[in-house]
Structure 1
Amino acid sequence: MSDARVPRERPLSPHLTVWRWHITMAASILHRVTGVGLYLGALIVAWWAVSLAAGPEAYDQFRGLIGSPLGKFVLFGMTVSFFYHLASGIRHSVWDLGHGLTIKSANALAVASFAFAIAATVAVWFIAFTTGAL
């Protein structure tokens, strides 16, 4: 008789392929993604501060890169991330207070978070372009 044990297949945990996508699920994932994006965006803010302290040549180099189409694209992404993460954080605070926990109101808060992020980003970039900031 052999003491060798045959390993049994273990069940897999549910993942994104198992669950049906819904708006609050997408909002939760996007909240995490924008948090990581803002964390990385903080490196750009630190680079701005260091280039400002390093002198005019370093600051001009920073401005040249951040003013390029790629730099503006990154800034646009940071703006969307900031406003979505802000709105989603407020949504979480509303939930922490015990409000908006029904499916209908949770979905409405998720839609409101998306709408606020889009509207605020468009407003900021419109103001930036009309005032000549970009």
Structure 2
Amino acid sequence: MARPALSMNSDRPVNLPLPSLFLNMPVTAVTSILHRLSGVALFLGVIYVFYLAELALESAAGFDEAARIVATPLGKLGLWIVLAALAFHFLAGIRHLLLDFHVGDSLRGGQVGGWITFVLTLAAVIVAGAWLW
């Protein structure tokens, strides 16, 4: 007996590449995801900052070593990444606190708040980069 031909289900999920999925998300979702990722970056960045602080407070030679590390391009980049994560996490946290008080919790308000968070973060990151370099 012959088997019937299996028909393909046209409602099957489609695998989307991660970059295109990220670009098609609403700004509120991107803000939320990046807020979590910036928290992880801060958690890891604290290790670098505490290492530099411990080294600098250890002795005069340790301070010179910490200053030498921070003077390198890689050291400055590390501090810049930590400052960028701190700026975004701080601003997105303030946005989240405002949402808890029902300030900007409409669809349009959430979108505007997300864009304001990104613009202010960009400004803070540019200022931090100018200060470091």
TM-score (norm: length of structure 1): 0.75
Q: Hey, what's the Cα distance between the residues in 2 that align with 1:53 and 1:72?
A: 19
| 1:76 aligned residue | 80
CA RMSD of aligned residues (A): 2.5
Q: 1:85-123 CA deviation, whole Å, 9 max, x = no partner? A: 111001101110012111111011011001001112222
User: In the alignment, does 2:47 pair up with 1:43?
Assistant: yes
Secondary structure of 1:82's counterpart equals helix
Aligned residues: percent identity?
Answer: 25
| 2:108 aligned residue | 104
Q: CA deviation at 1:41?
A: 1.7
| 1:34 aligned residue | 38
Residue 125 of structure 2 is aligned with which of 121, 125, 128? 121
Q: CA deviation at 1:58?
A: 2.0
| 1:57 aligned residue | 61
Instruction: Please list every run of at least 4 consecutive aligned residues from structure 1 whose deviation after the TM superposition is greater than 3 angstroms.
Output: 16-20
Q: Hey, what's the Cα distance between the residues in 1 that align with 2:87 and 2:29?
A: 18
User: In the alignment, does 2:59 pair up with 1:89?
Assistant: no
Secondary structure of 2:105's counterpart equals coil
User: In the alignment, does 2:28 pair up with 1:24?
Assistant: yes
Q: Hey, what's the Cα distance between the residues in 1 that align with 2:86 and 2:54?
A: 22
Across the two proteins, how many residue pairs are aligned to each other?
A: 117
Q: 1:37-95 CA deviation, whole Å, 9 max, x = no partner? A: 11122112211221123212222222222221111111111121111111100110111
TM-score (norm: length of structure 2): 0.75
Q: Hey, what's the Cα distance between the residues in 2 that align with 1:49 and 1:78?
A: 14
Aligned residue identity for 1:53 = L
| 2:4 aligned residue | none
Secondary structure of 1:114's counterpart equals helix
Aligned residue identity for 1:73 = L
Aligned residue identity for 1:82 = L
